[in-house]
Chain A
Amino acid sequence: MMNTFVVYVENKPGVLTRVASLFRRRAFNIDSLTVGRTEKPEVSRMTITADADRDQARRIEANLYKLVNVLLVENITNQPAIVRDLAMIKVAATHEARSHVLELASVFRARVVDVAPDSLTIEITGAEDKIDGLLEVLRPYGVLEMVRTGIVAMRRGSKSPNMAATASNFAQVVADDDVSYSV
């Protein structure tokens, strides 16, 4: 089962290597990993998806906590969360195909970001399956190039992570009661 972890780490050189190396060393399989800045300059945030059963997922969490630079790990797999992936897709679009491709893009609320004589580049943000869906329908026209960022995720609701009271919750599934849903 695919698990999604949000990992807060100290923003220091080499921390990404430590996290990646951990997954390699323990033979856990990373499906996607993104890393970026957060509201705090000293903290970076990673979203990692990995295929793991419940026990393995706990061990991944516990092992992440063993890295001295890891501040907080949240397994948000079973939590209400906003999950987004961004893709850029370059599609072959000659004169007659062009309008079809544009139509499909608009159905998926994707944007055209570059136009060339025989291709269009489409940018789409959304949950992974939405992007998979767009890719599926574009494929017959000829996908010339594609890149995806891998997902970033955030729990819904006003609760923000409490980095002071963490590590011990490695095995607990956080119960979130004040959830607000948005579109």
Chain B
Amino acid sequence: MTKTGAQILWECLERERVSHVFGYPGGAILPAYDALKHSKIHHVLVRHEQGATHMADGYARAGGEVGVAVATSGPGATNMVTGIATAMLDSSPIVCITGQVGSKLIGSDAFQETDITGVTLPITKHNYLVTHASELARTIREAFYVARSGRPGPVLVDITKDAQQTSCEFDWEAAKPQLPGYRPDLSPDAKEYEQALELIQKAKRPVILAGHGIIVSGAMQDVRTFAERTGIPVALTLLGIGAFPASHPLNLGMMGMHGEAWVNHTIQEADLLLAFGMRFDDRVTGNLKTYAPNARKIHVEIDPAEINKNVKVDVALVGDLREVLHELLPHVNTVDRSEWLDFIDQLKGDAAVRDIQNLPDNGHLYAAHVINDLWRETRDADTIVVTDVGQHQMWEAQYYKHDRARSLITSGGLGTMGFALPAAIGAKVARPEAEVWAIVGDGGFQMTMAELATVVQENLKVNIAIINNGFLGMVRQWQEFFYERNYAATPLLNPDFVKLGEAYGIRSVAVTQRSEVVPAVQAARRHDGPVLINFKVEQEDTVYPMVAAGASLHEMIRRPSPIVETAADE
């Protein structure tokens, strides 16, 4: 059957199970937009193309399906760069479709011509320039296959205007991916399994390092079975949060820069690390020279290029985590680990029983309390929390206890401010039945707050909690620790967020007292429409503990007092 490139595009997206795309039109992509009327796909008009990419990303992370963002050539395409890089570093499967000037004009500096495949080459898993309608079907199929298979990642497809306009024969079946060099399906050999099992058998002080790969692989249950059968405790990376239930007795919590001290000490004392789908990011390891000096290391990882990149490992099991665990599980057995677990309990000390809810606030509104209260209110619901980047992100990781995979969505690797609001929109679109909360700093919120209009336009019940500390808080914290409190360019002049929300027709309230937190959260949950809460929290509050960049994992800057955090620490 003969179709235009534009029609083929939408039909291929439908066949790839796409129900929603996030986009913004312009000249070079207009033929595609014109053909949208024939498609069942719902197009979400965003307010900035960066927003479209984060929405696609949030959609992918919440629902596990590939997210799609659409933009025009030139500025539309370059506005996507930040979102693409964000998805790349966190292995999130998105496909970005961009219009390109006519194929005859390429290279002529035509109006709105940008070499976007050149620009995005190092920040995509793969990208394509399509100059003929006849290449479109296979390219789209390949793009989705590459984005979602193996180690997922962003794929960009740049389509010239003429490729959208001209017609050709469309045959989905014939347009099978042709990727002779692409092999996402590696698996370890028997000898490597034996070596791993031997290390596991011998270990006295083992720890599982649970990462994002568990969620990508869908191996939550297998990891749990593995941990329970072997009695090995589990520490999580930021992106691994939710891969193993926070409420599980073997859960230690988040490791790394802002992980609890006992988690990092446990890792430093371990004799075996089992890295499951995590990539030893520098925020996880601290100084590599002193990292887990006594531990043998087993790395279960789908991407061979991650092996021995940061941390030299003893055994690498290269393959899909779930499959690898299926091989290992029948051969591991129950071991009494009480000595090791008691040791860890001692490291925890009274911190283990410390419950920040009951710690005094002395009349202050602490972000940690806000987040912990929010968790108490929403813990039993099917809640997805999407955080931005900064102090509030770390408090969320510490004080919101996630029991389910995909219930925390955050930009870890790139640390992209402005991520939360659009990603929350994407998450809500992917999982309409879920309760979605964006927890966002007053700085990052202002980077993409234009998407409030998208929330209203799409009639999405997204709750927005602004943790408003009047500062670029995390940077202020670094200035506090490392730059003699020279708060250069970190105090923020903010608009009245309540009025701002109301201007968009969003119910908005401000909260200044601890006692108002729970009622405000409850009211927001009851309201059937988006709600914005401006939590005016303590301004000079600090995230503890902290491993300074480059310091050893066990050299943490500890909380100055058992009290939550302190403006009073000066």
Residues of A within 8 A of B (CB): 9-10, 13-14, 17-18, 21, 25, 55, 58-59, 62-63, 65-72, 163, 166-168, 170-171
Chain B neighbourhood of A9, CB < 8 A:
181
If over half of B's interface residues share one DSSP class (helix, strand or loop), that class is named, otherwise mixed; here it is loop
User: Are A63 and B181 in contact (CB-based, < 8 A)?
Assistant: no
Question: Is the CB–CB distance between A71 and B181 below 8 Å?
Answer: yes
Query: Are A10 and B181 interface neighbours, CB within 8 A?
Result: yes
**CB-defined A-B contacts under 8 Å, sample of 21:** A10-B180, A10-B181, A13-B129, A14-B117, A21-B122, A58-B308, A59-B308, A59-B309, A62-B303, A65-B183, A67-B181, A68-B126, A68-B181, A71-B181, A72-B181, A163-B180, A168-B183, A168-B186, A170-B304, A171-B304, A171-B307
Residue positions of B touching A, CB distance < 8 A: 117-118, 121-122, 125-126, 129, 146, 179-183, 186-187, 303-305, 307-309, 312, 316, 318
Q: Which residue of A lies closest to B180 (CB)?
A: A71
Task: Tell me whether chain A's interface is mostly helix, strand or loop, or mixed.
Answer: helix
Name A54's closest neighbour in chain B (CB-CB). B308
B181, A62: Cβ atoms closer than 8 Å: no
Across the two chains, which residue of chain B brings its CB closest to A55? B308
Neighbouring B residues of A65 by C-beta, 8 Å: 181, 183, 304-305
A50 to chain B, nearest CB (A): 15
Residue of B nearest to A63 (CB): B305
Q: Indicate which residue in B121, B179, B308 contacts A21 across the interface (CB closer than 8 Å).
A: B121
**Which residues from B are CB-within-8-Å of A10?**
180-181
Chain B hits for A166, CB < 8 A: 183
Hey, which chain B residues are within 8 Å of A14, CB to CB? 117, 129
Given known A17-B118, A68-B146, contact A59–B305 (CB-CB < 8 A): yes
**Which residues does chain A contribute within 8 Å of B312, judged by CB atoms?**
55
Residues in B neighbouring A58, C-beta threshold 8 A? 307-308
**Max count, chain B CB within 10 A of own CB: residue among A9, A55, A62:** A62
CA of A21 to CA of B179, assembled, Å: 20
Are A18 and B308 in contact, CB atoms less than 8 angstroms apart? Answer: no
A56 to B187, alpha carbons, bound, how many Å? 22
- What residues of chain B lie closer than 8 Å to A66, measured between beta carbons? 125, 303, 305
| Residue contact A70 to B181, C-beta cutoff 8 Å | yes
Q: Is the CB of A62 within 8 A of B179?
A: no
Q: Which residue of B lies closest to A172 (CB)?
A: B189
In the bound complex, CA of A65 to CA of B125 (Å): 12
B306 to A, closest residue via Cβ = A62
**Nearest residue in B to A26 (C-beta to C-beta)?**
B305
